[in-house]
Chain A
């Protein structure tokens, strides 16, 4: 009986936990109940993925109202894949959170942290699971508002301006998406995604639909932090508490990318997006700009979190490049990179969380000589860095492989060369950190006793790192699901 209600339980369980954390103002309780909720959502996501791989699309009507008029929750392969990675990252981060949060957030605000975290998780899961565009907007705003709060919980005052800037850009992006949804509703009279995809081909030639597409693409691009709309991302990731950086870096942009896939392929359809609108050209140009600008900016950063933030901007460029190929391989690469990048960045930000826990900050100066004093932490960073570069045996290699194959399939070999060149840039900025950690003596200001990070923080970090390696070697799950998802999105049977 429960198995038929899984889609709604996925969202309700974190939504229930948030007021519980607020009601019972006890720190241990808040952490324990949040962790339990997150692990439950991970279990539900795994069950949903299993169900949808066997049965096809799962549809759930809210309130018993029949589909085109009521709100529908719809799970297919793309959905389930994103649900799996979001819940997995959330559980790993919450395992990490107990010690990290105690050091980085004011003790009176810790229950507020868990409340906002659960609301953010509920919002992200709601965006992924819903089949109604306005419901998507509402959940998007829920997750956005709670992430602004999470960022502003940091003790550093620059986090406040970062959260403020993120709030403005995020709200403008969401309002543009709302305009797009309104224009779509104006032309078709429905808000249900399946219904929209069936009614849109009849009205595709009109200027209203093209304007709606433009508004939606720009709005979602702000949320993904696609260059040149990426200005909120570096500061937001750099000055937030480490746990928040890890969670948001690994999930928020990925879920926004999923929204892009949903709108472009399921609702508008690939033929409209790529034939009627010059999307392929625009996305290729912006993706290349993102990849090179992001990687180059990362090389010159002193704050390691900002370095990883600029690296994220480059990785988002890879995902957009995958879409711009408009082929099954390209889309598979994009979806695969969604999963892999979440694993990579989640692990790397957790590593930085360990560093901040012991040293208070994560600048280049703190990293010097850390290889000897925090060996497990830095080893994790090295493996995560290798994954970012795309060394074989890591997940980074798998997504870059599919990207290059997709480019070569299309005959665009300069793009393949560009992907390889950007990997060299990644090598440079990863090497900077590794060199400081292993080949430089610790700076005198931090020459004191620095111990390894506590086990409760090392275990989730290493769990994500091992996932990096495991899914780089045994790719049957990730590649299988991603290619099925890509085929479903493009409407190709098989």
Chain B
């Protein structure tokens, strides 16, 4: 089995290598590579195609839990074993959902146990995704978009707004837009600190809002808008003006008070 080691601390990676060498007789494997954070690991996972990833939890740029969530988008996701120094919040969720983890400092016997279990078990991706979402205390820092079998990471910081289309959510950045297979409601919950709902079908990055103006939104900008909610097609409504984005998005009446409060809070 090919194994990928992910940890931002050199000594921790070296220790895992040593321990893996110790158990090599009982669990034949090769260490395919090492990565120092989740972003690097995700790229390596796609080229090296390891069967198993041993990953630290807290790392710069992308931690272990977020890495595991993005890995699920791969056609054949590798098994993941988390290696953590101490993380009470995540450990509770790991126990509940039987996700595999090791405590640092790692013992060779425990490592061998986990390797065998991981090799034997296949968790359905949907279950794993739910478990991981629950274990993660923080919002992801990237959206992962699968395009033609590759995973593209879009930093959440780059996203200006998210809009629900018929089956997908479109992710709009300054450069381009992406299709994301997730529900807008879930996204709203996860990223409540960063995005605000301005309309039944749209979340906008709070720090991109530069102002509001009264106007009529072009019909095309409000797909799925029911006649009832629009309350008369010609009536002017509030539009959000966004930095780095030519498009102005309509604010629904239902969301206007929340949005207005945010705008006031910004001064």
A and B pair up: no
Residues of chain B touching chain A, judged by Cβ–Cβ distance below 8 Å, are none
